[in-house]
Chains A and B, each alone.
Chain A
Amino acid sequence: MKFAFLCRQRPSSSKLRIAIVGAGPAGLTAVGFLVCRGHEIDVYEKLPIPGGMMTFAIPRYRIPLDSVMEGVEELRDKFGVKLNLSTKVMCGERHDEGDELAVNSVDLLKLVEGYDTVLISTGTWRSRKLGIPGDDSKNVVSALEFLLDIHVEELGLRPSHLGSFKKVVVIGGGLSAIDAAEESILKGAGEVYLVYRRTIKEAPAGEYEIRRLSRLGVNWIELAAPKSIIVENGVARGVVFQRMKLGEPDESGRPRPVPIPGSEFEIDADVVVAAIGEVPTPPISSECGGIGKYVGKDGKIAVDRNFRIPGTNIFAAGDVVTGPSKIGQAVSQGLRAAKELDRFLSIKTLVAR
Chain B
Amino acid sequence: MPDPGVLMRVIDYSKCMGCGTCEAVCGFIHELGPFIRLYELGGGVARPISCFHCSRAPCVEACPTGAMRRDSSGAVYVELSRCIGCMACLYACPFGIPDYGEAVKASVKCDLCRSLRGDGLVPACVAMCPSRAILVGMPKAVGDEVKRRALARIVQLGEFK
Q: Which residues of A contact B (CB under 8 A)?
A: 1-3, 5-8, 25, 29, 54, 62-64, 67-68, 203-209, 211, 326-329, 331-332, 335-336
Q: What are some 5 contacts across the A-B interface (CB < 8 A)?
A: A5-B124, A6-B121, A29-B128, A208-B44, A327-B19
In the assembled complex, the Cα of A25 lies from the Cα of B130 at a distance in Å of: 9
Partner of B130, one of A204, A205, A327: A327
Known: A5-B124, A329-B20; 17 extra A-B contacts, CB below 8 A, are A1-B129, A1-B130, A5-B25, A5-B128, A29-B128, A63-B17, A64-B131, A67-B130, A67-B131, A68-B130, A206-B43, A206-B44, A207-B44, A327-B20, A328-B24, A328-B38, A336-B28
In the assembled complex, the Cα of A67 lies from the Cα of B12 at a distance in Å of: 15
In the assembled complex, the Cα of A308 lies from the Cα of B116 at a distance in Å of: 29
- Which 9 residue pairs are nearest across A and B when measured between Cβ atoms? A206-B44, A328-B20, A208-B43, A5-B127, A332-B24, A2-B127, A207-B43, A327-B19, A328-B24
List chain A residues, Cβ under 8 A from B45. Answer: 206, 208-209
List chain B residues, Cβ under 8 A from A209. Answer: 43-45
With contacts A1-B128, A2-B127, A54-B130 taken as known, whether A62 is within 8 angstroms of B17 at the C-beta atoms is yes
User: How many residue pairs, one in A and one in B, have C-beta atoms under 8 Å apart?
Assistant: 86
List chain A residues, Cβ under 8 A from B38. Answer: 328
List chain B residues, Cβ under 8 A from A25. Answer: 21, 130
List chain A residues, Cβ under 8 A from B120. Answer: 8
B25: nearest chain-A partner, CB-CB: A331
With contacts A54-B130, A64-B132, A67-B132 taken as known, whether A5 is within 8 angstroms of B43 at the C-beta atoms is no
List chain A residues, Cβ under 8 A from B58. Answer: none
A339: nearest chain-B partner, CB-CB: B28
List chain B residues, Cβ under 8 A from A326. Answer: 18-20
Report the minimum CB–CB distance from B67 to chain A (whole Å). 27
Interface residues on B, range: 20 to 34
In the assembled complex, the Cα of A37 lies from the Cα of B29 at a distance in Å of: 15
In the assembled complex, the Cα of A2 lies from the Cα of B121 at a distance in Å of: 10
Q: Which residues of B contact A (CB under 8 A)?
A: 17-25, 27-29, 38, 42-45, 116, 119-122, 124, 127-132
- Residue from A8, A67, A207, A328 with most neighbouring chain B CB atoms (10 Å): A328
List chain A residues, Cβ under 8 A from B21. Answer: 1, 25, 327-328, 331
In the assembled complex, the Cα of A81 lies from the Cα of B100 at a distance in Å of: 41
In the assembled complex, the Cα of A1 lies from the Cα of B133 at a distance in Å of: 11
In the assembled complex, the Cα of A331 lies from the Cα of B24 at a distance in Å of: 7
A33: nearest chain-B partner, CB-CB: B28
In the assembled complex, the Cα of A227 lies from the Cα of B135 at a distance in Å of: 48
In the assembled complex, the Cα of A67 lies from the Cα of B126 at a distance in Å of: 12
With contacts A206-B43, A327-B130 taken as known, whether A5 is within 8 angstroms of B121 at the C-beta atoms is yes
Flag if B129 contacts A335 (CB, 8 Å).
no
List chain B residues, Cβ under 8 A from A6. Answer: 29, 116, 121, 124
In the assembled complex, the Cα of A8 lies from the Cα of B124 at a distance in Å of: 13
List chain B residues, Cβ under 8 A from A206. Answer: 43-45
A5: nearest chain-B partner, CB-CB: B127
Report the minimum CB–CB distance from B88 to chain A (whole Å). 32
Report the minimum CB–CB distance from B25 to chain A (whole Å). 6
Flag if B44 contacts A2 (CB, 8 Å).
no
Flag if B24 contacts A329 (CB, 8 Å).
yes
List chain A residues, Cβ under 8 A from B22. Answer: 328
Flag if A8 contacts B121 (CB, 8 Å).
yes
List chain B residues, Cβ under 8 A from A335. Answer: 24-25, 28
